[in-house]
Amino acid sequence: MEVSLAIAEAARQADVDVVSAYPITPQTHIVERLAQMVADGDLKASFITVESEHTAMSAAIGASMPGARVFTSTSSQGLALMNEIVFLAASMRVPVVMALANRSLSGPISIWNDHSDIMSVRDVGWVSLFANNGQEAYDLTLMAFRIGEDPRVMLPVMISFDGFILTHMIEPIYIFDDAEIEGFIPPYNPQFKADPKTPMTFGPVGVPEIYTEAHKQQDAALRGSREVIDEVFADFEKRFGRRYNAVETYMTDDADVVLLSQGSVFETTQLSVDELRKEGKKVGAVELRMWRPFPFADLQAALKNAKVVVVLDRAVSFGGQAGPLMSEVRSALYPMKDAPPVIGGIAGLAGRDIMMEHYREFFDMGYRYLETGKEPEVITIVGLRQ
């Protein structure tokens, strides 16, 4: 099945009430399929065709506040256009689920994949998780409704999956029977509803006397969502047999050089680890699945034995360190006693292929650092045309 269609199937099985949709490459297949499901009567939901992504998120919030289960999806420039309202979804504590088909931001215009869009919304206050293949995209979409709608969380959830590399890829995906999903996702029952019979005020002006406290509560809720995420991961494993972790590791116990990444590149990173292990090199790989709330302790535990950590960023932090992922990882490891050094590079911008030799180059960066103790003086872009 095409991965985008699997995500649409997950939304159907979650029995969403409202789909707020606007087409943008490469996520369009998701909402196209959901529109067909509604038209065919396979999904009893309101399908709202809006005039922009800004309106898509506005409608999603408006539908969620009275108690509807809401799904939407977007990419790149669409996410940038809805940026204003994405903040409101988190601050108003509506558990909208959004599939983000990662695509590079302009300019120049590009429809291909990198992580510049998700990195642009790092601090919007959503629960944010990464999928590295189609099965994970389907599974995490199902789990997103359970996580966001939990009364202890009540926050929107964003599932990132790589545009084209995953969205348009046809993979073997195990789709649960509808009966298997029943009971896993309970009915959405918000504590506070927009109801004309019991009027409440939502999203008023935040005067200086309350704004700080509101943000403190929002941050506490996002950090507190970690407990619920772990519970959902554990229940999913108990019911369906697949284990998800905030941080995934591969051959890291004795690795001198560890390559850390997010998204679909992790699977190819594992292949490169296998090849280098055959050559006697002690290397390993780590995937940061949970972007927010950030899994500080998990990452420290995963990297405690590494001699150097190399971060593969798929977005540029212009004028800053190599990329936003590298900066986050360095910050997360800073409190550790004998923390491993963190260096990094950039690859795969706007869908450029990351070849096996490029993964080897990232690992070579780590070995060069172990030999010299010096990190590159300028941002390293692996695969850059000379």
Handedness of CA 24, 28, 32, 38 (dihedral sign): negative
Q: Does 320 have pLDDT greater than 90?
A: no
Provide CATH 3.40.50.920 ranges for the chain.
Answer: 247-372
Q: What is the pLDDT of residues 33-83, one digit of tens each?
A: 999 999 999 999 999 999 999 999 999 999 999 999 999 999 999 999 999
Sheet holding 257-261, edge to edge: 247-250, 283-288, 257-261, 308-313, 342-346
Q: Does 128 have pLDDT greater than 90?
A: yes
Place of tokens 């995500």: 7
Q: Does 124 have pLDDT greater than 80?
A: yes
What pLDDT is attached to residue 379?
Answer: 83
Question: So what's the architecture of 3-240 in CATH?
Answer: 3-Layer(aba) Sandwich (3.40)
What pLDDT is attached to residue 118?
Answer: 98
Q: What percent of the chain lies above the pLDDT cut of 70?
A: 100
What pLDDT is attached to residue 99?
Answer: 98
CB 104 within 8 A of CB 117: yes
- CA-wise closest residue to 285 among 353, 363, 340, 346: 363
Task: Band the pLDDT of 191: cuts 50, 70, 90.
Answer: confident
DSSP state of 381: B
What pLDDT is attached to residue 93?
Answer: 95
| Type and span of the H or E element at 162 | strand 157-162
What pLDDT is attached to residue 386?
Answer: 80
Q: Name the more confident of 159 and 377.
A: 159
What pLDDT is attached to residue 346?
Answer: 96
Q: What is the pLDDT of residues 372-386, one digit of tens each?
A: 999 877 789 999 998
Angle 6-10-16 from CA coordinates, rounded to 5°: 140
Task: Work out the mean pLDDT of the chain and round it to a whole number.
Answer: 96
DSSP state of 15: T
End-to-end CA distance of the chain: 39
- pTM beyond 0.95, yes or no: yes
Q: What is the pLDDT of residues 260-305, one digit of tens each?
A: 999 999 999 999 999 999 999 999 999 999 999 999 999 999 999 9
Q: What percent of the chain lies above the pLDDT cut of 90?
A: 94
Provide CATH 3.40.50.970 ranges for the chain.
Answer: 3-240
Bond before 134 cis per omega within 30 degrees: no
The rounded radius of gyration (Å) of the Cα atoms in the chain is 21
For 301-356, give the secondary structure using H, E and C: HHCCCCCEEEEEECCCCCCCCCCHHHHHHHHHHCCCCCCCCEEEEECCHHHCCCCH
What pLDDT is attached to residue 281?
Answer: 98
CB 333 within 8 A of CB 309: yes
Q: Does 343 have pLDDT greater than 90?
A: yes
Q: Does 92 have pLDDT greater than 80?
A: yes
What pLDDT is attached to residue 230?
Answer: 98
- CA-wise closest residue to 22 among 62, 59, 67: 59
Domain at 247-372: CATH code: 3.40.50.920
Task: Band the pLDDT of 187: cuts 50, 70, 90.
Answer: very high
* pLDDT, mean of residues 115-129: 97
What pLDDT is attached to residue 321?
Answer: 79
